[in-house]
Amino acid sequence: MIYTPLRNLLAITAWCACSWLGGVATDAIAEVVIVAHRGASHDAPENTLAGFKLAWEFQADAIEGDFYLTRDQQIVCIHDDTTERVARLNLPVSQSTLAELQQLDVGSWKDERFADQRIPTLSEVLAVVPCEKRIFIEIKCGPEIVPFLAEALQRSRITTKQTVLISFKPEVISAAKSAIPDCKAYLLIGFEKARRSNTWSPTCEEVIQTATNVNADGVDLAGNLEVVDQDFIARCRQAGLSLHVWTIDDPRDAKQFQQLGVDSITTNRPDALRRILFSPSKERALDQIPAPVAVPQVAPHAAVP
């Protein structure tokens, strides 16, 4: 077969457009991936179908949601282990059935326009993920969810290349990689600063060791620029780990992480970050970012994935 220059160009363009889904890193696709934290949670109620659909309207590259196992072994999307914060009724998720949980209004706390929103199942969330997009599935409970998660993913139309599993718990990452080896799995890491020594923990070495011990493909770090600097990122790269940060709503911080070369940025404001990160004029884009708007009740946690 003879390849003309035009044919070669088209082939390269098509490959570059989709290769990030397979985890390929090239200069042509060096743009950071924008992950909508619990959906477009600045503008819609977190972890709802309305929030996830809005994230796609805002051109997010991926959505992130939190998942628990119910008493009747259904996987549901909610951040806390009880419903109190988002439903004004305190039901423990792991001790409730899907039917009980889906009776609750989990949208009105944000705005009465979302009064029809219910706690979605994993399958319902997967069904609204476009074929060219990704989903970051944060496992909030323990490894007991993994067999049910594997079954749900197998039943869905979602490919393993579209799916990223994340957790703060090393044992969950280990179980996930054993059961679903083709899915990327990232270890979530938060940082704490010791008052006396003025040092941050865990250290970069500890992060790398823990992640590699459980076969994680990458680390998803609290976006602290005091800790996650060029050296930290370089050492993670040398260890074969991809590098991701959460939860970044400040456009200046986002721009700095983009310049440091992180693979993805998780944010409550995917529309605003897209404008700043991909605007030809940094100053103009910064001026276009609206100030945060106060919302009723309790806003989504800013510092917790």
Beta bridge partners of 92: 82
Domain annotation covers residue 20: no
User: What is the percent of the chain with per-residue pLDDT over 90, rounded to a whole number?
Assistant: 80
Instruction: Please state the φ and ψ torsions of residue 187, each to the nearest 5 degrees.
Output: -85, 125
Res. 15: pLDDT tops 70: no
Domain annotation covers residue 192: yes
CA 234 to chain centre: 22
Res. 151: pLDDT tops 50: yes
Res. 155: pLDDT tops 80: yes
If you compute the radius of gyration of the chain from its CA atoms, what whole number of angstroms results? 20
Domain annotation covers residue 206: yes
Domain limits for position 276: 27-288
In this prediction, residue 279 carries a pLDDT of 78
Q: Where are the alpha helices (DSSP H) in 156-269?
A: 170-179, 204-213, 230-238, 251-260
Number of H-type helices and E-type strands within the chain:
12, 11
Q: Among 24-38, 241-255, 271-285, 287-301, which is the least confidently predicted range? A: 287-301
Domain annotation covers residue 16: no
Res. 20: pLDDT tops 90: no
- What burial class does residue 118 get, using C-beta atoms within 10 Å of its C-beta: 0-12 exposed, 13-18 middle, 19+ buried? middle
pLDDT band with cut points at 50, 70 and 90 for residue 304: low
Domain annotation covers residue 164: yes
Residues 6+ apart with CB under 8 A from 258: 32, 265, 277
Distance CA 251, CA 177 (A): 34
User: Hunting for tokens 């890491």 — which residue is that?
Assistant: 189
pLDDT band with cut points at 50, 70 and 90 for residue 300: very low
Residues 6+ apart with CB under 8 A from 86: 45, 46, 47, 78, 79, 80, 106, 109
In this prediction, residue 7 carries a pLDDT of 39
pLDDT tens digits for range 75-108: 999 999 999 999 989 999 999 999 999 999 999 9
Please indicate whether residue 216 or residue 284 has the higher confidence score (pLDDT). Answer: 216
Res. 179: pLDDT tops 50: yes
Q: What average pLDDT does the segment 8-32 reach?
A: 43
Question: Considering the chain, what is the average pLDDT of its residues?
Answer: 88
Domain count, the chain: 1
Q: What is the CATH number of the domain that holds 160?
A: 3.20.20.190
Question: Cα separations (Å) of 74 from 94, 151, 154?
Answer: 10, 11, 15
Own/partner pairs for 165-169, CB < 8 Å, 24+ apart?
A: 165/137, 165/139, 166/64, 166/136, 166/137, 166/138, 166/139, 166/220, 166/305, 167/138, 167/139, 167/140, 168/305, 169/139, 169/142, 169/143
Neighbours of 11 (CB within 10 A): 11
Residues 6+ apart with CB under 8 A from 279: 285, 288
pLDDT tens digits for range 199-227: 999 999 999 999 999 999 999 999 999 99
Domain annotation covers residue 13: no
pTM for this model (two decimals): 0.86
Domain annotation covers residue 21: no
